[in-house]
Amino acid sequence: MKIDTCAFYDLFAPLLPENEDARADKEWTFEEAQEYIIQKFSSFSPDFGAFAEQAFKNNWIDAEIRTGKVGGAYCIDFPYQKESRVLSNFSGSFSDITTLAHELGHAYHYDCIKNTDYALSHYPMTLAETASIFAETIIMQDAVKNAAGFEKIKLIEMHLSDSTQVLVDILCRFYFERSVFEQRKERELGAEDFCRLMTEAQIKTYGSGLSEEKHPYMWAVKSHYYSPDLDFYNFPYAFGLLFATALFARFKKEGSAFAETYVSILKDTGSMSCEALCKKAGFDITKKDFWLEGIRVFYKDLEEMKTYADSL
C-alpha cells in the first residue's frame, strides 16, 4: 500500500520480509566479524587491514556485552601511548559490524595523525567523522554488492534509513536549535515553547511527508542539547557523511592508488581548514554542487528500493 504521509514514529519502521524464511537475520560471531572487517579494510589498502588486525590482536576493542557496561560505542585516543581504544557492544548483528568498522575508522584516523605535533593532531568536528563513515561505507558497499533478493533490499533500506536520518533529521535538529538560541535572546523558554519550536522545525524539514503525528518532544530525548560544549553537535555527521561519500566515490574511480591520497588527507585534518583540506582532495565545499553530488549518490539505492516496492 502506497501512502503519501507517515507519522514520525513510522520513519524508521522495519522492512517486512517477503516470507517467514527471510525474517531471520544472520547472527555473526565476533571472530567472523573480525575476519570480515580485516579482509574488507585490506581490500582498500594493506595498511588499513593491518591496522585493524593489530587492533583486534592487541585487544584494543572492548566488545563484550556485560552487566553495568554503558551502551553505544565510541573511540578514544591516548596521545602518550599513541594508541586508541574502542568500546562497543557486539550482539552478532550486521549493524554491530558496521559500528565496529565506524569506530575502527576513528582509530585509524588517529593512527595516521599520531606522529604529528600534538597541537596538530586535533581536528574540527566537521572532519572528525570522515574516516569513520568512510570505513563504514567500505563494509556496507561490499555487503550490498554481494547480497541478493530481500537480503540486499534490507541492507539498502538500512543504509538509506541511517543516511536520511543524518541528512534530514539532523537538519531538523539544526533548525530547532537555531530557533531556540534566537528566541532565548528575548525571554526564557519552557516546555511548551520547545514543543512548538520542534514541531515547526519538523514541518520545515519534512514538509508534507509527515502526517499530523509528529514528535514535539524530540528535544527531551536528545542529550546533546543539554551539554554547553555541544552546540549544533549533530551537524558534523551530515558533513562527514557527504564528504566521506565523495571520497569513497573517488576511491571507486581511482582504485588502490587513492589509498595514499586518503592517508594524506587524514594527516592534514589537524593543520588545514575544512575548505583547504577539501580543495586538496579535489572538492569545493563552498559550491552547492558539491553537496548535491553527495546526495545524488543515494538516488540509485532509492530507485532500487522503489522498484522492489512496486514488485510486491
Domain ranges of the chain: 30-148
> Tens of pLDDT along 58-117?
999 999 999 999 888 999 999 999 999 999 999 999 999 999 999 999 999 999 999 998
Query: Cα–Cα distance between 294 and 299 in angstroms, integer?
Result: 10
In which band, very low, low, confident or very high, does the pLDDT at 224 lie, cut at 50, 70 and 90? Answer: confident
Helix (H) or strand (E) holding 78: strand 74-78
Buried/exposed code over 131-159 (b: 16+ C-beta within 10 A; e: otherwise): bbbbbbbbbbbebbeeeeebbbbbbbbbb
Q: What is the pTM of this model?
A: 0.86
Partnered with residue 210 across adjacent β-strands are 6
> Tens of pLDDT along 9-54?
888 887 777 665 555 578 999 999 999 999 999 999 999 999 999 9
Position 238 scores a pLDDT of: 85
* Apex 135 CA angle, 174 and 250, nearest 5: 90
- State the DSSP string of 32-77: HHHHHHHHHHHHH-HHHHHHHHHHHHTT-EE----TT---S-EEEE
Query: Cα–Cα distance between 236 and 128 in angstroms, integer?
Result: 8
Look up the CATH number of domain 30-148. 3.40.390
> Which residues, in sequence order, are CB contacts of 59 under 8 Å at separation 6+?
none
